Amino acid sequence: MGLWRKKCRPERNLTHPVPDPPRRTRVTSHRALSPGPDVPPPTGATPTAVPVRTRPRTKGARRGPRRVVAALVAAITLGLTACAGPADTATVPPASATTSAPATTPSAGTESSSSLTSATVEAPGTAPVSTAPSPAAVATDPTLSAPSAPASAGTPLSLPDSAPVSLSVPAIGVSSPLSTLGRNPDGTVEVPSLDDPDAGAGWFRDSPEPGALGPAIILGHVDSRRFGPGVFYDLKKLQAGDAIEISRADGSVAVFTVDSVEDVPKAQFPTQRVYGNLDHAGLRLITCGGVFDSDAGSYEDNIIAFASLTSSRSA
């Protein structure tokens, strides 16, 4: 019997060792990732690249609401740091060097084209186009409307995933199809076309679908030299309590209520508030605004409308 044990005992260097009886079950503990923001809000006048927390993914796991982490990456990717120049094309300054510049207001009828443009941490674009802002360049009224009251207890926190089709904002006369915006080959974020006057607004597909859990991001131009006022020309006129409706591919309409509308300097873009995780379905409409820098061909601020899902209905 002793000889049998000696010859049949499994060796340590076997690829698939056979355990001695009794067989033991290996127990592996899984610790949850610690909570906290994936990307902290930018500090100082110069945004810098911020490392993004990652976590292991179980094979076959469904991509759930936590894909808002991808939207947090887009906070750096999008940047919303500059508007297009006089040539009606979008400039792409690096995320680590983009700032706003002192500006003068353009005369009526001579505004250069403006758009939301982007920069990435991994693949920055062109060189910076402006310098640090002077104190006078900061908007004097950063909050255009106060937060609205929280939704009632019966309000749905989110809807099932479904791609957005169109946008309606009755208070400012906006009715627009929604294009899908991805990323350019260099990693920067696409913006709605400046060559098509009917391009309207666009949904950034790395953010949640409007109505799903998390902050959905929709971008639109404020104006352009070629076509004049853009789809979000009057975005700053929205007020708390105004409705925003998103028609979705599944035949439902997600109805959001505006919480606040803010004019913020691009150097102080509220990354965490725009892209941070939410416990409900949120929406952010973003365009350019503030003082126009005719030398740089860009606006110094971003206009951001924050909204929350309050109801839904059939189309």
Which structure tokens are listed for 123?
Answer: 């693949």
Compute how many other C-beta atoms are within 10 angstroms of the C-beta atom of residue 57.
8
Please write down the long-range contacts of 60-65, taking CB distance under 8 Å and 24 or more positions apart.
65/158, 65/208, 65/212, 65/213, 65/214
Q: Is the pLDDT of residue 62 over 80?
A: no
From the list 271, 286, 282, the residue with the least C-alpha distance to 76 is 271
Q: What is the DSSP letter of 102?
A: -
Q: Which of 138, 159, 171, 129 is nearest to 257 (CA)?
A: 171
Percent of the chain with pLDDT over 70: 50
Residue range 201-235, pLDDT digits in tens: 999 999 999 999 999 999 999 998 889 999 999 99
Residue-level pLDDT at 19 = 43
Out of 144-148, 194-198, 245-249, least confident range: 144-148
pLDDT at 195 over 50: yes
Which has more pLDDT, 176 or 61?
A: 176
Tell me which of 184 and 24 has the higher pLDDT: 184
CA–CA separation, 298 vs 92, rounded Å? 12
Q: Per-residue pLDDT averaged across 70-79, rounded? A: 42
The DSSP-derived string for 173-207 is: TEEEEEEEE-B-TTSPBP---SS-TT--EEEETTS
Whether 105 shows a pLDDT value over 90: the answer reads: no
Averaged pLDDT score across all residues of the chain: 67
- Token look-up 């391009």 returns 199
pLDDT tens per residue across span 14-51: 334 444 444 444 444 433 333 333 333 334 444 444 44
pLDDT in tens, 138-178: 233 333 443 334 444 555 689 999 999 999 999 999 999 99
Q: What percentage of the chain carries pLDDT values higher than 90?
A: 41
Q: 7 or 232, which is more confident?
A: 232
Residue 284 to residue 264: CA distance in whole angstroms: 14
Measured CA to CA, the distance from residue 236 to residue 233 in angstroms comes to 8
Determine which of 71-80, 106-115, 223-232, 242-251 has the lowest per-residue pLDDT on average.
106-115
Mean pLDDT of 230-247: 98
Report the length, in residues, of the chain: 315
- Look at 66-80, 156-170, 189-203, 282-296 and tell me which has the smallest mean pLDDT: 66-80
Q: Could you give the domains of the chain?
A: 66-314 (2.40.260.10)
211: left (phi over 0), alpha (psi -120 to 50) or beta: left
Q: How many CB atoms lie within 10 A of CB 4?
A: 8
Do 99 and 128 meet the contact criterion of CB atoms below 8 Å apart?
A: yes
